[in-house]
């Protein structure tokens, strides 16, 4: 038996703020969008490299306040990109954690937490 790729679903409440945060600040791209009818809540998939997230405005899909850990092997480059983006709602820094990882945490406008993690190589 094997398990497949995991795709987190994160709650959002405002399409413009979601686009500003995930596309403009974090550098994700939209893969696809879905609405049952014009004016209905948005459900969309965004991705960057191998990271795929679903963002939903639908009330029953999930609760706000989720936490997602996303592995990267280029945390310093990501930090430089986010610093350069000059997003007025977040100025994340890198933390050295006692479990031998370096982490950069950002909170989206909807209460979700994205933790970008670089794990120290094994000896």
**Tens digits of per-residue pLDDT, 44-86?**
999 999 999 999 999 899 999 999 999 999 999 999 999 999 9
- Residue 1 belongs to some domain of the structure: no
- Residue 121: per-residue pLDDT: 72
SS3 (DSSP) at 19: helix
The answer to whether position 47 is within a domain reads: yes
The per-residue pLDDT for 122 is 62
Whether 36 is in a domain gets the answer yes
* Banded pLDDT at 1 (limits 50, 70, 90): confident
Cα gap 7→75, rounded to integer Å: 21
Q: What is the CATH number of the domain that holds 109?
A: 3.10.180.10
- Residue partners of 90: CB distance under 8 A and separation at least 6: 25, 82, 106, 107
Domain of 79? Answer: 9-119
Confirm whether 83 is domain-assigned.
yes
pLDDT digits 0-9 by tens, 3-33: 998 999 999 999 999 999 999 999 999 999 9
Strands 101-107 and 94-97, by their bridges, are antiparallel
Within a domain: residue 4?
no
In a domain, 93, yes or no: yes
Q: Is residue 2 part of a domain?
A: no
> What is residue 83's predicted lDDT score, i.e. its pLDDT?
96
- Adjacency order of strands within the sheet including 101-107: 67-71, 113-119, 101-107, 94-97
**Which residues, in sequence order, are CB contacts of 86 under 8 Å at separation 6+?**
none
Give tens-digit pLDDT for 83-119: 999 999 999 999 999 999 999 999 999 999 999 999 9
Number of domains in the chain: 1
pLDDT of 123 strictly over 90 = no
3 assigned to some structural domain:
no
Q: Centre a 10 Å sphere on the Cβ of residue 112 and count the other Cβ atoms it contains.
A: 22
Q: Give me the helices (H) in the chain, please.
A: 15-19, 75-85
């Amino acid at each position: 038996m094997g398990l497949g790729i995991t795709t987190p679903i994160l709650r959002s409440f405002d399409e413009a703020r979601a686009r500003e945060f995930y596309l403009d600040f974090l550098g994700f791209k939209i893969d696809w969008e879905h609405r049952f009818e014009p004016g209905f809540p948005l459900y969309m998939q965004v991705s960057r490299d191998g990271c795929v997230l679903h963002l939903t405005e639908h009330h029953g899909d999930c609760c706000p306040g989720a936490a997602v850990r996303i592995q990267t092997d280029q945390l310093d480059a990501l930090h430089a990109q986010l610093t350069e983006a000059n997003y007025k709602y977040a100025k994340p820094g890198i933390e050295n954690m006692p479990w031998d990882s370096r982490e950069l945490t950002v909170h989206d406008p909807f209460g979700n937490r994205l933790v970008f993690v670089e794990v120290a190589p094994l000896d």
